[in-house]
Amino acid sequence: MQPPPERTAPDAENAPPTGPGPERTLGQGAAGESAPGSTPPAEGSSVPGPRTGTAGAGRVTLRSDLRASWPDGLVALAITAALSALIWARINSRASSTATVMPFMADDPEAFLLYFLSQAFGWSALLWAWITVVLGLLLSGPRPARLPLSGPRLERLHRTTSLNTIGLIAAHALLFAAELFRHDDAGAWYGAAWTAFVETFVPGGYDSGTGRIAIPVGQAALYLAIPLGLLFYIRHRIGPKTWRVLHRFVLVVYVLSVWHTLLYGTNVWYDGWFRTSVWLLQLPIAALFLARLLSPARRSERLPALAAVPGGGKPLWTARAAGRAAAAAVLVALVAILVTGRDGGREEPPADTTSTHNHD
């Protein structure tokens, strides 16, 4: 996860801004260096028992869940508004590392308002993805006895936070596209709109710096989150077993989201407590995931003693045991990353480069 150097840092005046997007504007010669939308296991994903959704009443449909989504959607919007204010204040005071990576944004913050809004939606999307993954793992793994939410409520919250995660990611990407559109004055509006669409939503369309990897990673998270999250609503057509198997891949969506963030977020560009906190938040996910594998809610997913497995079933047993060992290894690796601080962050350049001319 150590990104290659390329974004510009303090002496970006050498690099005339051509539009938003970390490297797009950077990368020419100077200092610096240079991931869902998880829709995790939808309600009761792997939990046995009836699924009535709205805490007991009626069949769950996409429409009923969309209606039920507004309370946590409003909370997400309120958090996004607070994050926007924070990002705005930090840009204006130049405390944000976005201002170090892209100084031209701090020189004229009003011109990049949509970009800062996009950042705020990115963070609320990641937070909602985190919440919904935690809820999903609580549903499919061991559940603390003292949890204040009943099973059906937990399931419903899991589904609505999943839906809101998709909406928040979409808002994050659309605001980025809007910023690209706004800064493209090279030709006709429809040409600018097309370019913004391609750079934002078409894999390979964004061809500058770290974005060449980070943007497709984010797109993969978004494009996987949509079907994996929504398949729940047609599970009666595809079969609950198929749905359950497919839905497990939402964890991939989450991993892609975190990877995209750590690779491309300019607020976590450099080493520091903020970047460390993002890593720290992955510890409970890794621990819950391991607990879910070791003690799944569904009896059929438990790993029997090897002696009780008939000869033909041994390769499958070995694969499942290896999965559990890999999950434990991820947990250990996370602890090692946190303890050593080797988390792929770039080294922050000196605040005043004029005297040192150190732009490496």
Q: Which residues bind ligand HEM (CB under 6 A)?
A: 21-22, 35-37, 98, 119, 122-123, 125-126, 129, 169, 172-173, 176, 200-201, 215, 218-219, 221-222, 257, 260-261, 264-268
Which one, 55 or 134, has the nearer CB to ligand HEM?
134
Which one, 36 or 40, has the nearer CB to ligand HEM?
36
> Please, what is the minimum distance in Å from the beta carbon of residue 24 to ligand HEM?
9
> Please, what is the minimum distance in Å from the beta carbon of residue 228 to ligand HEM?
12
> Please, what is the minimum distance in Å from the beta carbon of residue 13 to ligand HEM?
19
Where are the alpha helices (H) located in the chain, listed in sequence order? 62-68, 70-92, 97-101, 103-107, 113-140, 151-183, 189-201, 211-230, 235-238, 240-247, 250-264, 273-280, 282-294, 314-340
Two tokens at 146? 């003292």
- The identity of residue 22, as a single letter, is P
- The identity of residue 95, as a single letter, is A
Q: How far is it, in rounded angstroms, from Cα 191 to Cα 193?
A: 5
Q: Tell me if 354 sits within 8 A of 313, measured CB to CB.
A: no
Burial of 346 (0-12, 13-18, 19+ CB in 10 A): buried
Which one, 123 or 289, has the nearer CB to ligand HEM?
123
Which one, 46 or 200, has the nearer CB to ligand HEM?
200
3-state secondary structure of 270: strand
3-state secondary structure of 9: coil
> Please, what is the minimum distance in Å from the beta carbon of residue 39 to ligand HEM?
10
> Please, what is the minimum distance in Å from the beta carbon of residue 349 to ligand HEM?
16
User: What sign does the dihedral 259-261-264-266 (CA atoms) show?
Assistant: negative
Query: Please, what's the b/e burial string for 162-172 (b: 16 or more CB within 10 A of its CB; e: otherwise)?
Result: bbbbbbbbbbb
- The identity of residue 107, as a single letter, is D
> Please, what is the minimum distance in Å from the beta carbon of residue 265 to ligand HEM?
3
> Please, what is the minimum distance in Å from the beta carbon of residue 69 to ligand HEM?
17
